[in-house]
């Protein structure tokens, strides 16, 4: 059993076999720093709980189809949570979760016009009209 | 006020960059791997969350899009302007419409009925333009797929140079969409420049279609790419002799397809795992001492006898072979003895792809598996080619009358009924046609007690191949009555799947 402490002080007891799914934790365990618990300063309790849930499910379930369906449900979260999950997966080095979350964001971008993308992700267009025109011209084929 | 970050570009990158643009307001792109602690880039007031993700993560997200979609993000905001220039996978597949350039009224010599015209000139300019803007430290995969001939040599030379000098590990140059590329105008890979040599150390997969590369160059690749695992040569008309020799080679998978002028193929003392050969048998085919070879696929572009003849040259791997795939034309009811293939003790999976005329029954094929006691999976793909003459060797089956055919079929039923397989677990029949294949189905389920699953796929096995749509009319879904009949014949332990 490994204890993980989130940035806001929540503690989580995790089986070793689940904890090693997060490479960062795995390395700390191998280096022998895990006895008194591992602090995870970059991740809040809410997100860490989800990451641990993910790792647990992937350890427990072998059937690919079931896992795929569960992943599809797991990833149905609001944008803020999604980005937090991306960053947590990156920090904790959980490749499968990183793949899943990045793919989800990519799917949200696919097939959309730049205007739509800006709206969905609330990206502020900080180009002047001249700059924007220049960029579009540089790769005209992509914007046709 | 956002702090500025130092750009870390490797010296290689510095050398390659012709124009080095400095970002005006915010941080410069950091394309090196993992700075976990700096996952958040400090953002301006009111900036969205997604732009707070690090460059590394954004690049990972964009690498899951097509090149076109990735390039489009350059206009989102300053933060996004150059993120796409670091994506590690550059897949310029014209078939996937990465360009969406359609010119329906141009007099282009290339006309694909499915996807419309592709403007090759614009395509090659686009690829070259994207490569010129590229800033990443290295490219993982570089794929080009478009009908291009030697008129575009200067572009293609540049692409290969780019790929190799960027330490790519997968290169795929597919310069023809047709299965049999013509040779006269194909692009020819010429000398390899010295600045490309750095790329050889990382190359793992090299796939060349409709690219003429001579013996020496292939030899060079094999000896100087220490990590090369997969080599696919398709439509290479400059190749005369192929030698894959030496235990230092990492080559696992070799695929040679329609290299019309290939005379000798020598494979020995290697760790090759999988070998595929499509085309007329070369004058000399030698296979010796390849203890890891477990997967073989042969398509002699000819009859069953041709397939057997070619296969017999590979006898040294018979006892270790696990997966075998044979493709041939089936002309008429052949003698059962013609179907006998050598004993393959360890064969677990057999895929048989048969090009047949629409009204032929193929019971004899069951006799093929008699000598393979450990076979577990048998996939039969039946491709109907109707009455088109594709090959000079075709014998006129239409002339045989119906009576003779029926008699021959009965004889087959009796002979094939003698087959009994101790181990077969899964059978799949793709391109199933209920008028001619029902007996085959019966034979299989009656004679295989170990059967766990049987799949009947009534869809055209050629459906993914753009160029072969004539066969569509021979395939149709089974009526519910037919489906019920099949299900009643199958014993309850066996799972029947009808597609």
Mean pLDDT, residues B325-345:
76
Mean pLDDT, residues B438-463:
80
Confidence of residue B458 (pLDDT cuts 50, 70, 90): confident
The answer to whether B146 and B118 have CB atoms below 8 angstroms apart is yes
Q: Does B47 touch chain A (CB under 8 A)?
A: yes
Dist CA B147 CA B181 (whole Å): 9
pLDDT at B477 over 60: yes
Show Cβ contacts of residue B206 under 8 Å, excluding neighbours closer than 6 positions: B171, B221, B225, B228, B230, B231, B232
pLDDT score recorded for residue B492 = 81
Show Cβ contacts of residue B236 under 8 Å, excluding neighbours closer than 6 positions: B208, B211, B212, B213, B259, B262
Give the lowest-confidence range in A31-35, A78-82, B18-22, B259-263: B18-22
Confidence of residue B442 (pLDDT cuts 50, 70, 90): confident
SS3 B79: helix
pLDDT at B23 over 50: no
CB < 8 Å from A in window 451-490 of B: none
pLDDT score recorded for residue B34 = 40
pLDDT score recorded for residue B371 = 77
pLDDT at B98 over 60: no
Give the lowest-confidence range in B108-112, B289-293, B398-402: B108-112
pLDDT at A40 over 60: yes
pLDDT in tens, B308-323: 889 999 988 999 999 9
CB contact under 8 A, B57 and A87: yes
Q: Chain A: which residues have CB within 8 Å of chain B?
A: 24, 42, 79-80, 83, 86-87, 90-91, 93, 98, 102-103, 105-106, 109-111, 113-114, 117-118, 121-127, 132, 135-136, 138-139, 141-144
Q: Does B46 touch chain A (CB under 8 A)?
A: yes
For residue A95, list chain B residues with Cβ-Cβ distance below 8 A. none
CB contact under 8 A, A141 and B77: no
Helix (H) or strand (E) holding B85: none
pLDDT score recorded for residue B445 = 80
Q: Does B96 touch chain A (CB under 8 A)?
A: no
Helices (H), chain A: 16-19, 23-30, 45-60, 64-74, 79-92, 95-109, 114-121, 129-138, 140-143
Bridge partners, residue B141, by sequence: B89, B170
Nearest CB to B72: which of A123, A125, A143? A143
pLDDT score recorded for residue B416 = 58
Q: Which residue has the higher pLDDT, A83 or B364?
A: A83
SS3 B346: coil
For residue B36, list chain A residues with Cβ-Cβ distance below 8 A. 24, 90-91, 93
CB contact under 8 A, A87 and B39: yes
Mean pLDDT, residues B191-202:
74
For residue A115, list chain B residues with Cβ-Cβ distance below 8 A. none
pLDDT in tens, B402-415: 556 556 655 665 56
Dist CA B389 CA B386 (whole Å): 9
Mean pLDDT, residues B260-286:
92
A143, B82, B83, B175, B382 from B92: Cα distances, Å: 16, 19, 18, 11, 33
Average pLDDT across chain B, whole number: 76
CB contact under 8 A, A141 and B122: yes
Instruction: List, in sequence order, every beta strand (DSSP E) within B169-283.
Output: 170-174, 187-188, 205-209, 211-212, 230-234, 241-245, 253-257, 264-268, 274-278
The answer to whether B318 and B342 have CB atoms below 8 angstroms apart is yes
Q: What does pTM read for this prediction?
A: 0.78
The percentage of residues in chain B with a pLDDT greater than 70, rounded to a whole number, is 71
B272: number of Cβ within 10 Å: 23
Interface-testing mutation among A90, A142, A143, A144, with chain B (most B C-beta atoms within 10 A): A142
Mean pLDDT, residues B129-147:
90
Q: Does B103 touch chain A (CB under 8 A)?
A: no
pLDDT at A39 over 70: yes
A124, B64, B79, B359, B432 from A117: Cα distances, Å: 11, 16, 14, 54, 46
By C-alpha distance, which of B32, B20, B19, B27 is closest to B2? B27
Nearest CB to B39: which of A90, A103, A117? A90
CB contact under 8 A, B50 and A110: no
Q: Does B54 touch chain A (CB under 8 A)?
A: yes
Mean pLDDT, residues B105-113:
40
pLDDT score recorded for residue B80 = 92
CB contact under 8 A, B49 and A80: yes
ipTM: 0.91
> Residues of A58-78 as b/e, b for ≥16 C-beta within 10 angstroms?
beeeeeeeebeebbeebbeee
């Amino acid at each position: 059993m490994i204890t993980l402490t989130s940035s806001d002080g929540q503690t989580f007891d995790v089986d070793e076999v689940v904890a090693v799914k997060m490479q960062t934790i795995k390395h700390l365990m191998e280096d022998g720093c895990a006895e008194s618990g591992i602090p995870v300063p970059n991740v809040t309790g809410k997100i860490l709980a989800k990451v641990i849930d993910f790792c647990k499910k992937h350890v427990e379930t072998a059937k690919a189809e079931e896992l795929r369906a569960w992943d599809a449900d797991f990833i149905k979260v609001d944008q803020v949570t999604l980005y937090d999950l991306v960053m947590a997966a990156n920090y904790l080095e959980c490749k499968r979760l990183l793949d899943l979350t990045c793919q989800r964001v990519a799917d949200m971008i696919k097939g959309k016009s730049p205007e739509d993308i800006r709206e969905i992700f609330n990206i502020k267009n900080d180009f002047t009209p001249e700059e924007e025109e220049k960029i579009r011209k540089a790769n005209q084929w992509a914007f046709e | 006020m956002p702090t500025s970050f130092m750009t870390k570009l490797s010296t290689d990158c510095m050398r390659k960059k012709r124009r080095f643009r400095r970002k005006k307001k915010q941080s410069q792109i950091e394309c090196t791997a993992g700075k976990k602690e700096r996952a958040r880039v400090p953002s301006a007031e009111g900036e969205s969350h997604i732009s707070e993700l690090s460059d590394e993560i954004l690049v990972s997200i964009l690498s899951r899009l097509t090149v076109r979609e990735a390039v489009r993000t350059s206009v989102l905001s300053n933060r996004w302007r150059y993120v796409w220039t670091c994506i590690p996978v550059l897949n310029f597949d014209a078939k996937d419409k990465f360009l969406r350039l359609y010119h329906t009224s141009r007099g282009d010599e290339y006309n694909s009925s499915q996807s419309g015209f592709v403007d090759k000139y614009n395509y090659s300019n686009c690829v070259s333009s994207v490569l010129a803007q590229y800033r990443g430290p290295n490219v993982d995969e570089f794929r080009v797929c478009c009908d291009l001939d030697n008129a575009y040599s200067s572009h293609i030379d540049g692409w290969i140079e780019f790929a190799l000098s960027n330490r790519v590990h997968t290169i795929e140059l597919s310069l023809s969409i047709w299965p049999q590329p013509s040779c006269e105008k194909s692009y020819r890979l010429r000398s390899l420049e010295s600045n490309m040599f750095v790329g050889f150390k990382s190359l793992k997969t090299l796939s060349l279609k409709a690219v003429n590369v001579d013996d020496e160059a292939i030899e060079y690749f094999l000896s100087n790419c220490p990590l090369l695992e997969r080599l696919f040569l398709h439509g290479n008309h400059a190749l005369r002799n192929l030698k894959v020799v030496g235990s230092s080679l990492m080559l696992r998978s070799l695929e040679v397809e329609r290299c019309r002028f290939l005379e000798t193929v020598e494979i020995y003392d290697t760790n090759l795992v999988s070998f595929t050969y499509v085309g007329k048998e070369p004058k000399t085919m030698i296979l010796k001492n390849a203890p890891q070879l477990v997967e073989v696929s042969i398509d002699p572009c000819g009859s069953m006898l041709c397939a057997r003849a070619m296969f017999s040259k590979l006898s040294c791997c018979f006892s270790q072979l696990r997966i075998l795939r044979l493709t041939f034309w089936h002309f008429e009811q052949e003698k059962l003895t013609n179907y006998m293939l050598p004993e393959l003790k360890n064969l677990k999976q057999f895929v048989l792809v048969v090009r047949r005329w629409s009204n032929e029954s193929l019971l004899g094929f069951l006799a093929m598996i008699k000598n393979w006691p450990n076979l577990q999976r048998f996939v039969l793909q039946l491709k109907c080619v109707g009455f088109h003459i594709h090959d000079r060797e075709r014998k006129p089956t239409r002339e045989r009358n119906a009576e003779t055919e029926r008699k021959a079929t009965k004889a087959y039923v009796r002979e094939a009924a003698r087959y009994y397989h101790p181990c077969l677990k899964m059978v799949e029949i793709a391109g199933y046609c209920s008028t001619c294949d029902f007996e085959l189905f019966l034979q299989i389920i009656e004679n295989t007690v170990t059967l766990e699953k049987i799949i009947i796929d009534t869809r055209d096995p050629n459906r993914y191949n753009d160029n072969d749509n004539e066969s569509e009319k021979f395939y149709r879904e089974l009526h519910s009555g037919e489906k019920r009949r099949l299900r009643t014949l199958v014993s309850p332990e066996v799972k029947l799947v009808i597609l």
